[in-house]
Amino acid sequence: MLTVPTRKKEDHMPHLHACILYLLGLFERVIFFSRRTRFPFPCAGSWCCGDLLQGPVSSMISPTFFYFLSPQGGPVKTLLSLLLPLFILTFIGTASAGDPSWQQIKAKGELRIGLDDDFPPMAFRKADGTLYGFDVDFAEALGKRLGLKIVWVPTAWKGVIPSLYANKFDCIWNGMTITKEREQKVAFSKPYMMDGQVAAVIMSNTSITRPADLGGKIVGIQQGSTAMKAIEALPKKPGQLKQYETNPKAMLDMESGRLNAVVLDNLVARDIISKKPGTYKILPQFITKAPFGVAFRKTDNSLRHHVQKAIDDMVADGETARISRKWFAEDLTNPATW
């Protein structure tokens, strides 16, 4: 139990001096905590509570603080009760203003984006090495709106989040699925596209109109793909399941009449269909859903806000729809269709 020494009522000046030093020390630590920087001069309050002043929370449980709140604190207690809310408001203000991410990007004039450059149709290379794809067109258009140059930083997908926190780039924009596990590590934009597993059939097929109709049918999937989870999610199981090395091979077998349907990734299906228009069609419902988002460091809220505002504007004025139709022959960016 803490023992508080008694003092004469008139002996308040030492307490007042100590209170001021304590508040200065607390203020110094608040600024350091929220902005990760120190005052350009030594703060006299730092010695007031010594090693106990390790941050705003631990500062407030120091013996000095408890003495000020004790009955013996007298007018010092009153002074502290008046000034402490001011310092709390200062902490809140500096914490909210302590995110310079957008200003830093704006000052540099460029937005560095991490991606896997072998992920068609989102981002991949032409024969001459030029990077293109849906995400590439989307981000480049956003960069023009924000007055920023887009700098693409190819990286191994396995280490893309650690690379983000190593400041190798400013965000990840590459068909990244929003998952609960990833949300523990990064801050996502709102979904800008809904991906997932779908069922494709040949254009002339009229007997299969929704995923529930796959029960008892001959269905193909790519071996080792997440399509197997979609098959498990079907209300009625296929009569026969065939596995193929690649999705295009499964689609060709369906075209030849050896399959009734193929279950595959939505965007992969759209890419295949765009190359052979009029041959295949996708059933109108997702079997499983996987929303795509842009990933940011959790501290970069102001940057995320400005990027999200630009994305919202692009959806509202139809620019994302135009880009989507270029790559997928229809608008996949309208949340109303998900």
CB of 164 within 8 A of CB of 297?
A: yes
How remote is the C-alpha of 57 from its chain's centroid?
29
Structure tokens at 205: 């097929």
Other Cβ atoms closer than 10 A to 130: 9
Residue 20: what pLDDT?
Answer: 52
Other Cβ atoms closer than 10 A to 141: 16
Residue 110: what pLDDT?
Answer: 98
Q: Which residues pair with 335 in a beta bridge?
A: none
CB-count exposure of residue 134 (10 Å: 0-12, 13-18, 19+): buried
Q: How many CA atoms lie within 13 A of 121 on its CB side?
A: 22
CB of 281 within 8 A of CB of 336?
A: no
Instruction: Give the class (CATH, top level) of 101-193+290-337.
Output: alpha beta
- Read off the DSSP letter of residue 241: E
Residue 28: what pLDDT?
Answer: 46
User: Kind of pairing, strands 280-282 and 193-202?
Assistant: antiparallel
Residue 338: what pLDDT?
Answer: 81
CB of 310 within 8 A of CB of 142?
A: yes
Domain with CATH 3.40.190.10 in the chain: 101-193+290-337, 195-288
Longest dimension (CA), the chain: 100
Residue 82: what pLDDT?
Answer: 57
Residue 65: what pLDDT?
Answer: 45
CA–CA separation, 39 vs 270, rounded Å? 56
- Read off the DSSP letter of residue 145: H
The alpha carbons of the chain give a radius of gyration, in whole angstroms, of 30
Residue 62: what pLDDT?
Answer: 46
pLDDT in tens, the chain (338 residues): 445 455 444 454 455 455 454 555 544 444 444 444 333 333 333 333 333 333 444 444 444 444 444 555 555 445 545 555 555 554 444 444 579 999 999 999 999 999 999 888 899 999 999 999 999 999 999 999 999 999 999 999 889 999 999 999 999 999 998 989 999 999 999 999 989 999 999 999 999 999 999 999 999 999 988 899 899 999 999 999 999 998 999 999 999 999 999 999 998 898 899 889 999 999 988 999 989 999 999 999 999 999 999 999 999 999 999 999 998 878 989 888 88
Residue 72: what pLDDT?
Answer: 54
| 33-44 b/e (C-beta count within 10 Å ≥ 16 → b) | bbeeeeeeeebe
Instruction: Give the class (CATH, top level) of 195-288.
Output: alpha beta
Three-state DSSP class for residue 14: helix
CA–CA separation, 16 vs 202, rounded Å? 84
Residue 207: what pLDDT?
Answer: 96
At 211, the amino acid letter reads: P
CA–CA separation, 217 vs 100, rounded Å? 56
At 155, the amino acid letter reads: T
Residue 93: what pLDDT?
Answer: 46
CA 220 to each of CA 74, 225, 258: distance values in angstroms, whole numbers, following the listed order = 81, 11, 9
Three-state DSSP class for residue 250: helix
CB-count exposure of residue 199 (10 Å: 0-12, 13-18, 19+): buried
Three-state DSSP class for residue 282: strand
